[in-house]
């Protein structure tokens, strides 16, 4: 069973600070996804990375995928209160059950980020 560990579990910072959160897997990722979940809402996809060493940028967010495809980091520059939320990493892979293919997401436990004005 694949286990995803995210750190830190909680992060509380002031507006304007930079931060990095981490995601480590017990096995090689098939397709790594990062989600943000705001209170009272479901997770929303931020990015998908599939190639080892890949770096993707989304405005002030930078996502890095480890060369061995077992770890990833999310760096936020100049954090804003609107960045507050739960950040989840997940592995998406196709599985087969009884001849039927389906896609499965395995999630880490998340990092709860609070950005204070």
Partner 1 sequence: NAGVTQTPKFRILKIGQSMTLQCTQDMNHNYMYWYRQDPGMGLKLIYYSVGAGITDKGEVPNGYNVSRSTTEDFPLRLELAAPSQTSVYFCASRLGLAGGSQQYFGPGTRLTVT
Residue numbers of the site for partner 1 (CB under 8 A)? 4, 9, 30-31, 40-45, 48, 50, 88, 90, 92, 94, 97-98, 100-110
Q: Which is nearer to partner 1, 60 or 93 (CB)?
A: 93
Q: Which is nearer to partner 1, 48 or 64 (CB)?
A: 48
Q: DSSP letter string over 53-100?
A: T-EEEETTEEEEE-TTSSEEEEEESS--GGG-EEEEEEEEEEEEETTE
Residue 83 Cβ vs partner 1, minimum distance, rounded to whole Å: 19
Residue pair 95/101 in contact (Cβ under 8 Å)? The answer is: yes
Q: Which is nearer to partner 1, 39 or 117 (CB)?
A: 39
Residue 16 Cβ vs partner 1, minimum distance, rounded to whole Å: 28
Residue 14 Cβ vs partner 1, minimum distance, rounded to whole Å: 24
Contacts of 63 (CB under 8 A, 6+ apart): 34, 46, 47, 49, 55, 56, 57, 72, 73, 74, 75
């Amino acid at each position: 069973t694949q286990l995803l560990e995210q750190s830190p579990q909680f992060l509380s910072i002031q507006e304007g600070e930079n931060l990095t959160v981490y995601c480590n897997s017990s096995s090689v990722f098939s397709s790594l996804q990062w989600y943000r979940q705001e209170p009272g809402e479901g997770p929303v996809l931020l990015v998908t990375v599939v190639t080892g060493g890949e770096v993707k940028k989304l405005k002030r967010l930078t996502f890095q995928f480890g060369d061995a495809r077992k770890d990833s980091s999310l760096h936020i520059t100049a954090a804003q209160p609107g960045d507050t939320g739960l950040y989840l990493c997940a592995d998406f892979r196709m599985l087969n059950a009884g001849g039927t293919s389906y896609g499965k997401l395995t999630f880490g436990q998340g990092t709860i980020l609070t950005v204070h004005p």
